[in-house]
Structure 1
Amino acid sequence: MENDPGTLPLDGITVVALEQAVAAPLATRHLADMGARVIKVERVGEGDFARNYDDAVFGEASHFVWLNRGKESFCVDLKSEVGRDAVLRLIASADVFVQNLAPDAASRLGFGTEALRAEHTALIVANMSGYGTAGPRRERKAYDMLVQAETGMISVTGTPETATKTGVPVSDIAAGMYALTSILSALFRRERTGVGAQIDVSMFDATAEWLGHPMYMKMYADRQIPRVG
C-alpha cells in the first residue's frame, strides 16, 4: 500500500489536556499540528487565563491564539463530581493526558498518574511543573521570569551592565518542547510494546539543560560567558 501523503503523523491519536498558560499548551498545540485530536479542558466562565492576556488577534489574546490553534475546548467544573467524571470518561478513550496544574492539584482532583495508569495501562500521562516531583521546591508554583533568574538564563542575556529576561518565555517554551519530544517518544515505544508511560517535565530542568554550555565553561574553565543583548 502506498503511503497517503495527506495523512498527518498523529492522525487517530487523542490527547486530553488539563492545561493553562504556556508550557503545556505549546506541547499539545504541536501535537494538534501533527494531526492529533486535542481536547483542552478549561474552567467554566474564565477558561484558560491566557485568554485574557490581551485582545490583539481579532479580539482574541495573542498568546492564546498562538498556543491553542487546532484544538477543541471543553469547559467543566472540576470541583463537581459530574465534571470530574466527564473528564475521566474523556481520558478513558484517550492516548495521552497532559496537565500543568499547580503541584498536586491533579492528584487531588482524581487525575493522578498512578490512579490513571492503573486503570488504563496504555495511557501516556505527561505532568508538567515548575520544579519537578522531588526536592525542596516541588510544591512551589513557577513563572517564566522567575525560572529564568533561578537557572541563570538572565546571567547570559542582556548587556554587560544589566542582566535581562529574554524577549520570549524561553523557560515555558523549553518545558513545552521537552514534553513534546517525550510524548512522541512514548507513543513510538507504545507502538512496539503496548505500554503507556509516565512523563514528568519541569521548567527548571528544561531551562538548565539549555544552559549546558555556560555551565560547563564555569565548572571546568572558571569562565563566565558574557551577556549578549
Structure 2
Amino acid sequence: MQNSLEGITVVAVEQAVAAPYASSRLADAGARVIKIERPEGDFARSYDKLVRGQSAYFVWLNRGKESVCLDLRLEADREVLDTLIASADVYIQNLKPGSIEKLGFASADLRRRFPRLITCEISGFGNTGPYSHLKAYDLIVQAETGLCAITGNQQGPARVGVSVCDISAGL
C-alpha cells in the first residue's frame, strides 16, 4: 500500500484541518501534494508553537507536502494555480463557501476544462440548504450536531479535545 499513489499529483487549496488531513492521507500514500497557501500562510501555522516553534497541527497535517504561496486575488497568481491544476490528477479545496468560485476555480468548471481531474470540495454545511453559505469550524460543527452536549461536566457542554469533525470530514 505504501507509495501506491506514486505518480499522482494533488493540488490542494487548503487551510486549517479538514482538507489538509485529506491531502495528508494522499501524501502518506505516495502522492505529490502541492499545498497552496495564502500570502500570510495557512492560519493553522499559528495554532501553537509546540514542535520546535511550529504548530503541532500544521506539522502533523502538512508533512511531506510542497507548499506554494499564492495571492489568488492577483491574476498572475491565478495563472500559476491554473497551470498547476492543468497538470494535476486531483484538486482539493476547503475555502469558505463561494470563495473559490469567485476566483474562477469551481470544481464543476475545472472538471469541464480538465475531464480527467478528480475534484473534492470540503464545506461545513454542504452545497445546498439554509447553512450552505456559512463558514464552519470544528467547534461550530460539534455544537450544531449536539456533540458538545454529550461532553463536558457540571459547568456545561464542552468541545471534544481534538478537531474530530474536521478530521472526520478529511477522512
- TM-score, structure 1 length as denominator? 0.72
CA shift digits 1:157-197 (9 cap, x unpaired): 234763221111111111011xxxxxxxxxxxxxxxxxxxx
TM-fit CA distance, 1:97: 0.3
**5+ residue gaps in structure 2?**
none
Instruction: Name the SS of the counterpart of 2:11 in structure 1.
Output: strand
TM-fit CA distance, 1:117: 0.6
Match of 1:50 among 44, 47, 51: 44
Match of 1:10 among 5, 14, 25: 5
- Tell me if 1:38 matches 2:24: no
Distance 1:161 1:77 in 2: 44
**5+ residue gaps in structure 1?**
178-229
User: What aligned pairs does 1:51-200 form with structure 2 within 5 A after superposition?
Assistant: 51-159=45-153, 162-177=156-171
Which shows bigger deviation, 46-55 or 81-90? 46-55
TM-fit CA distance, 1:116: 0.4
- The answer to which structure, 1 or 2, has the higher relative contact order (CA under 8 A, 6+ apart) is 2
Aligned-CA RMSD value: 1.4
TM-fit CA distance, 1:54: 1.6
Distance 2:160 2:47 in 1: 18
Which shows bigger deviation, 20-29 or 47-56? 47-56
Percentage identity across paired residues of the two chains? 54
Q: Which amino acid aligns with 1:42?
A: E
Q: Which runs of 4+ in 1 moved over 4 A?
A: none
CA shift digits 1:30-60 (9 cap, x unpaired): 110000000000112x111111122111111
CA shift digits 1:124-178 (9 cap, x unpaired): 110011100000111011111111011111222234763221111111111011x
Q: Which amino acid aligns with 2:28?
A: D
Instruction: Name the SS of the counterpart of 2:128 in structure 1.
Output: coil
C-alpha change, 1:161 and 1:58, in structure 2 (3 Å) is closer
CA shift digits 1:72-96 (9 cap, x unpaired): 0011111111100100100001010
Instruction: Name the SS of the counterpart of 1:129 in structure 2.
Output: coil
Distance 1:158 1:104 in 2: 34
Match of 2:22 among 18, 22, 27: 27
Q: Which amino acid aligns with 1:126?
A: C
How many residues matched? Answer: 171
The structure with the greater share of residues assigned to helix is: 1
Q: Which amino acid aligns with 1:148?
A: Q
Distance 2:33 2:12 in 1: 7
User: Max radius of gyration: which structure?
Assistant: 1
Q: Which amino acid aligns with 1:33?
A: D
